Structure 1
Amino acid sequence: MADVIRQQQLGGVRREFAPWTDPAAVPLIRFDAVTKRFGDVAAVDGVSLDIIEREFFALLGPSGCGKTTLMRLLAGFEMPDAGRVILGGEDISTVPPHLRPVNMMFQSYALFPHMSVAANIAFGPKMEGWPRERIEARVDQMLKLVQLDGLGGRKPHQLSGGQRQRVALARSLARSPKVLLLDEPMAALDKKLREETQFELMHIQYELGMTFIIVTHDQEEAMTVADRIGVMDKGRLVQVGTPAEIYEQPNSRYVADFIGDVTLFEGTLEGRDGDVAVVRERTSGALLRALAGTADAAPGATVWIAVRPEKARISPDPLPPDTPNVLAGEVFDIAYLGDLSIYKVRRPDGTFMKASQPNATRLVERPIGWDDKVWLSFAPEAGVLLTR
């Protein structure tokens, strides 16, 4: 019951926490036109980014996009070739790692196998010369925080994967760094444990009031834990926003396709009907309508409409003539995921569109099956107009 209450309280706080919308907010961390090259390859290419104190920020992107290099630049394991890394108003670009108020939790956890849990947690404070009484108090505090009371005497090999992950987290937090960096911290956990740990991580970050930066290629993980997400591609930040903004208002096909599932319709902008853009799809010639939003494109320009599967409707019967954005096809594949079913529909022009339906009742007989002819539709406000 206490966990439920704490989760509800956290949810309320997180919904109200948006200091990045305040023009007067002073960032705790600032990447100022930072570039890092390895040979001829720019792993980080002119990145500028502000992260606010107490923010849980996620760097998201595929392998090789530069997200880990950007975090290593903040940790001090790499030095920028150009630009500045600023923390708390101070340029730390040339400050060695051990002198930065930053700690990093590695993907492998990197626990000392010959040390007990308590000794692993105490290692950082001990290296800094803390008195023994203070170290012991801090170890006890960290064990309680990560819910490992009574396990301080065990060795890492005597713990489960989830428990080792908690020890690594406690060790990273023991020195009270201003910023905690997490490099794919839950990659080694199974799906169920990973989901549980994500919420625990959010609780710990909120309770400590610290700034967390997580690097991940898992979209769901970033959407779950982060206040804001920075999506990276080829060393550059392509969009920064809240999870809802990134998912509902992607600024490019890359972001729309990388975050979640999406169908992209390519076409030519015919014109506008008020706030609605009218697009003639290239492959079928169908006229599709979507909210224009802030997209800046002139008639005749190539544009794309992005539609999420949950925004599309699927029907085994023809739809009324006044229904917008109706597309016919045949069911090519069905994925039953328990809480919902995803239908992959092949259209006459050979393209595919996905639609999902919640399984609100127990599955007795599937109303739509393989090879069935169906009609898909989506409301104009469900589509996102993209120009790149």
Structure 2
Amino acid sequence: MSTGVTDKTQKTIGGIRRKFAPWNDPGAVPLIRYKNVTKRFGEFTAVDNLSLDIYEREFFALLGPSGCGKTTLMRMLAGFEEPTEGQITLAGQDLVGMPPYRRQTNMMFQSYALFPHMSVWDNIAFGLKQDGMEKAAVAARVEEMLKLVKLETFARRKPHQLSGGQRQRVALARSLAKRPKVLLLDEPLGALDKKLREATQFELMDIQMELGMTFLIVTHDQEEAMTVADRIAVMDHGRLVQVAPPAEVYEQPNCRYVADFVGDVNIIDAKIESVAPGAVRLRSDAADMSLMIAQDVEAKPGDQAWIAIRPEKVRVDLDPPVEQGVNCLSGTIWDIGYLGDLSIYHVELPNGARIKAAKPNLTRVVERPISWDDKVWVSWTPDAGVVLTR
């Protein structure tokens, strides 16, 4: 049973998160600004003429596959790399040429990089002592950090006496102890198991909100980025492809690359038949009928397009749907994946193409379960899919 204090805190955080959107305020001044930044390693361009604004108190995620430039972008902010061209500013101060120790940033590495011969307490205190902080102030700050990450009873243990999750918390506390303007998180949860990683994601969000700090996280884990971030920058080959809040990136991808990279998706090749305000009619080889998507689009009849539809928005039934205005295709169950909370059905269409549908398992017993080789109907409403033109 939760306490009144916890409920009040949750409501407060929820209220802040719902209203927080400085990127929509024309008068808001970014805390971090990348302006036409390029980074080359020899002939290889890791970051290509990139501009990006990140705001104070924002939890921002750089998301993309290995080699897309996200870690290089973070390392340039930290001072471990210098841009070949362009400018990086933090709170209006130009960072180019400034050594890492003078920047108001701190970085938490995937390996944690804890000192094995030092206790938890001394690991957290190390940077504070290096800065010449008074002994009493160091002690107070370390105790504050231990309480923040819930490790008060582990203060005298060495790193090898801790679990992976506890070591991760020590590294986080050490990174936060110096109270940087920006905390940089480089794949911080990659070494944790799935359940611990999911729990730690929410702890990171709560700590970030409690401290009112700006967090910048680099990850290739889409679920992690979707969970923790206020906004996500999806990267590819050193460029920004889309920068938006998680729900927008998932529900309204701006191109096939984003739709395919973030989450699971069906992408159907199609040609545009007609365009009207708020509606697009398309023809696909996968269907013997026109498909309707409720969306405004800048295109004309005959243009190449793609329909992106998430599996959880596709219905799969043994009988054809009775609703009007539903996109509907017939097919045969080719494969089934049972995931506990839901089942994934791979449906083979008459032309050999396959489409995935996700169906929640709402009850333990199904009178007539859908099985392999069954003839089924897959369908989705006009507002469930997205038309992509690039």
What's the TM-score, normalizing by structure 2? 0.96
Mapped to 2, the partners of 1:225 and 1:79 lie a distance apart of 28
CA–CA distance in structure 2, aligned partners of residues 116 and 240 of structure 1: 41
1:85 — aligned with what?
Answer: 88
2:150 maps to amino acid: Q
* Counterpart position of 1:318: 320
The answer to whether the 8 Å contact 1:268/1:282 transfers is no
Matching residue of 1:253:
256
Q: Does 1:98 align with 2:101?
A: yes
**Partner Cα separation in structure 2 for residue 371 and residue 4 of structure 1:** 50
Deviations 1:250-309 (A, max 9, x none): 00000001111110111111112442111111454531111233x311211101111011
Identity in percent:
63
Distance 1:296 1:340 in 2: 36
1:211-222 pair list within 5 angstroms: 211-222=214-225
- The answer to whether the 8 A contact 2:116-2:159 is kept is yes
Q: Pick which of 157-166 and 309-318 moved more.
A: 309-318
Q: Which runs of 4+ in 1 moved over 3 A?
A: 2-9, 282-286, 320-323, 363-366
Using a 3 Å threshold, how does the CA distance of structure 1 residues 369 and 82 change in structure 2: closer, same or farther? same
1:34: Cα distance to partner? 0.5
Q: 2:241 aligns with which of 231, 235, 238?
A: 238
| Cα shift at 1:363 | 3.5
1:307 aligns with 2:309: yes
> Is the CA contact (8 Å cut-off) linking 2:285 and 2:351 kept in structure 1?
no
Q: Is the 8 A contact 2:346 2:357 kept in 1?
A: yes
Count residues with an aligned counterpart: 387
CA drift at 1:335: 1.5
> How big is the shift at 1:320?
3.5
Post-superposition shift, 1:191? Answer: 0.6
CA deviation map 1:347-372 (0-9, x unaligned): 11111111111111114556211111
SS of the aligned residue for 2:40 comes to strand
Q: SS of the residue aligned with 1:380?
A: coil
Quick one: which of 339, 342, 355 aligns to 1:340?
A: 342
Q: 1:363 to 1:47 in 2, by over 3 A?
A: farther
Instruction: Work out whether residues 272 and 283 of structure 2, in 8 Å CA contact, stay in contact via their aligned partners in 1.
Output: yes
In the alignment, does 2:274 pair up with 1:271?
yes
The one-letter code of the counterpart of 2:44 is V
Q: How does 1:1-388 map to 2 (within 5 A)?
A: 1-2=2-3, 6-284=9-287, 286-293=289-296, 295-320=297-322, 322-364=324-366, 367-388=369-390
Q: Distance in 2 between matches of 1:324 and 1:360?
A: 23
Assess if the C-alpha contact under 8 Å between 1:59 and 1:232 holds in 2. Answer: yes
Q: Could you tell me how far apart the structure 2 residues matched to 1:165 and 1:321 are?
A: 51
Per-residue CA deviation, residues 311-350 of structure 1 (Å, 9 max, x unaligned), is 1111101233844211111111112222111111111111
CA distance in 2, matches of 1:10, 1:277: 40
Moved more, 165-174 or 366-375: 366-375
Q: 1:91 to 1:328 in 2, by over 3 A?
A: same
More off after superposition, 39-48 vs 96-105 = 39-48
> What secondary structure sits across from 1:268 in the alignment?
strand
Normalising by structure 1, we get a TM-score of 0.97
Secondary structure of the residue that 2:321 maps to in structure 1? coil
Give the counterpart letter for 1:252 in structure 2. Answer: C
**In 1, Cα distance between the equivalents of 2:10 and 2:189?**
20
Give the residue type in structure 2 aligned to 1:108.
S
- CA contact 2:280–2:293 (8 Å) conserved in 1: yes
Q: Where do 5+ consecutive residues of structure 2 fail to align?
A: none
Task: Please give the alpha-carbon distance, in whole angstroms, between the structure 2 residues aligned to 1:189 and 1:336.
Answer: 25
> Aligned-residue CA RMSD in angstroms?
1.4
Determine if contact 1:31/1:47 at 8 Å carries over to the other structure.
yes
